[in-house]
Structure 1
Amino acid sequence: MRSHLALILDPDIGGFVQDPEQQQLGAILREVLAGWGAPDPAAEHAVLRSALMGGCIGVLLPGAQTPLPPIRADLFARYGLPWELGRPPEGGSPGRPDWAHLASG
């Protein structure tokens, strides 16, 4: 993950490298989210990307393991996807996690 971030960050501009493929994929995802009915496709795109990046960090970085079932449950609930799609974890859907307790403490 550190190598990936090092490759996509440009120290000269203090931001992410904006390559054409990344921009094209972002545009496609925003179009999909707009077609899905997102009131603000750009904001929804940021939420989706951050959730996916968080899941990746939890898998790739030793000591930073993140349980995937709650991330999957949140995304599947957010986008109205049936839990049975793909390869769901054993035990059935845990339901959408309640993240409100994190904001209070």
Structure 2
Amino acid sequence: MSPRSALVNEELRRRSKERLLHAAVELVDERGYEATTLGDIADRAGSARGLVSYYFPGKRQLVQSAVHRLMHRTLEEALEREPRTDDGRERMARAIDAILGLARDRPVLMRQHMAGLLQAEGFLPCPEQRRLAELLSDTVARNGSQDVESDYPMLRALLMGAVYAAVMPGAPLSVPVLRAELFKRYRLDWEMGVPPAPEGTGGTEEKDRPDMARFFATEEPGTQSK
């Protein structure tokens, strides 16, 4: 049997990494960070445990990369959904709603993510995070910023603060309240983006939460089995 080509090997590595990222967000969302081990993640992904260490220096890096993947793909999907628009204010509204939506739909996962950023290892840059930064910077620019280098970090800080407030154990602020404050700051109309359901209509049921799997595809679009 002839050896696999470099292209095939690269594709296999990509799929293995995708499965590990997907398994990481699933398990942390289900169990929390501390109750999830690298062995658990490897088992869920159907990968050899040694592969985890091959791709990621440790659990913290893996989980941060996985959550940043979820965040940037969620944001990307929101910005590009139909009807597509170049209107800067609408794109800002969609960006805010996308990130707040993760806090609403995945509170355990986002709480663990925020807690991880405050650990000794702190913020760990990775390709997934850089893509998230690019999307948010572009959103700020399209919204009319004259100083993206200053305005992007402020938007990032405001979104992080809103997520933290939404998932804080024992004293969370509601997403509509947080949305109202952010929309006021950026002078956005409430009808923009995806306005939340009225208060008192209940939280997001498990069956209604958006599926994360589409953001961790292990095959190229169009190659999935019919």
Q: Is the contact made by 1:33 and 1:41 (CA closer than 8 Å) also made in structure 2?
A: yes
Is residue 31 of structure 1 aligned with residue 138 of structure 2? yes
- For 1:9 and 1:63, the matched residues in 2 are separated by 19
- For 1:6 and 1:80, the matched residues in 2 are separated by 30
Which AA in structure 2 matches 1:87?
P
Which 4+ residue blocks in structure 1 deviate beyond 6 angstroms? none
**Once the 2 structures are TM-superposed, how far is the Cα of residue 9 of structure 1 from its aligned partner?**
6.0
Correspondence for 1:95: none
**Once the 2 structures are TM-superposed, how far is the Cα of residue 54 of structure 1 from its aligned partner?**
2.1
| TM-score normalised to structure 2 length | 0.33
Which AA in structure 1 matches 2:172?
Q
Is residue 20 of structure 1 aligned with residue 119 of structure 2? no
Q: Is the contact made by 1:51 and 1:71 (CA closer than 8 Å) also made in structure 2?
A: no
Correspondence for 2:202: none
Q: Which deviates the most, 43-52 or 17-26?
A: 43-52
Q: Unpaired segments of 5 or more residues in structure 2?
A: 1-110, 200-226
Q: CA RMSD in A?
A: 2.8
- For 1:6 and 1:71, the matched residues in 2 are separated by 20
More helix by share: 2
| TM-score normalised to structure 1 length | 0.61
Structure of greater Rg: 2
**Once the 2 structures are TM-superposed, how far is the Cα of residue 58 of structure 1 from its aligned partner?**
2.1
Match of 2:187 among 80, 87, 95: 80
- Work out the percentage of aligned pairs sharing the same amino acid: 36
Correspondence for 2:113: 4
- For 2:141 and 2:183, the matched residues in 1 are separated by 17
Q: Is the contact made by 1:58 and 1:66 (CA closer than 8 Å) also made in structure 2?
A: yes
Q: Is the contact made by 2:114 and 2:164 (CA closer than 8 Å) also made in structure 1?
A: no
Correspondence for 2:178: 71
Q: Unpaired segments of 5 or more residues in structure 1?
A: 92-105
Q: How many residue pairs were aligned? A: 88
